[in-house]
Amino acid sequence: MNCPLYKPLLKYVVLSLALLLACSTTFAQTVATPTGKEESVRPDINAKFLDPELNPQEWIERFEGESREVFRSRDAIVEAVGLKLGDTVADIGAGTGLFSMLFAEQVGSEGWVFAVEIALPFVERIGELANERGYTNITPLLGAERRVRLSPESIDVAFVCDTYHHFEYPHSTLASIYHALRPGGRLVIVDFERIPGVSREWTLGHVRAGKEEVREEIESAGFEFVAETEIEGLEENYFLTFQRDD
């Protein structure tokens, strides 16, 4: 698709779709989330991504450079996710669109990729990039801090790479992911190991929870732990798979 109207209309389409999906999930979210407002587990961790002046180009080198472990191991990670032709996957915390583009190839023309981001400039960039590369099976979607804004039972796989530690409201966000997954759908988490005395100081200061605590939080949200997968090249990150427990 190379429509000259695509770019100026992108923001309207993304926001309109987000509002529509949010309305369709209101009932499901109410059921999954207890009464009362969930407190932030890490206030302001997403402040820079919520800045409307965020420049995606400044993040490309950081997210798509050889210094980033998950970038170097991207092909092995995609293989381990195990997508099939026709699958629908949500890349939650899609950033600059690295994995969204790779997933679009994996699921083929019969499948679909929702690139979910809370940073509108990233959402816009992913739409432009998909347009440039000719992908017609990617929907850039503006997510929210407490929910992913996907319709109930609309995806087969939720992929969260180096983003779980940015879930400021993990209970609410996990509830929205749970409802977005079809029965038997999978949640894949790639995130930083946080081991005092072993992990880098940056990790200890930036990542709030270690692997075991993350697993406990996800299981308490109704997911069943499936496996931890060893990925060649991953030393600071782990790869966990969970399943919607129905």
pLDDT for 245: 82
Handedness of CA 27, 30, 33, 34 (dihedral sign): negative
Q: Which domain holds residue 222?
A: 56-244
| Furthest-apart CA atoms within the chain: distance in Å | 54
Q: Can you give the CATH number for the domain in which 178 is found?
A: 3.40.50.150
| Domain assignment present for 222 | yes
pLDDT for 246: 79
In total, how many domains does the chain have?
1
| Domain assignment present for 36 | no
| Domain assignment present for 191 | yes
| Domain assignment present for 43 | no
pLDDT over 80 at 47, yes or no? yes
**What is the torsion angle, in degrees rounded to the nearest 10, for the CA atoms of residue 211, residue 165, residue 196 and residue 226?**
10
| Domain assignment present for 51 | no
Per-residue pLDDT, averaged over 39-63, amounts to 94
| Domain assignment present for 8 | no
Question: Which of residues 4 and 227 earns the better pLDDT score?
Answer: 227
| Domain assignment present for 209 | yes
| Domain assignment present for 62 | yes
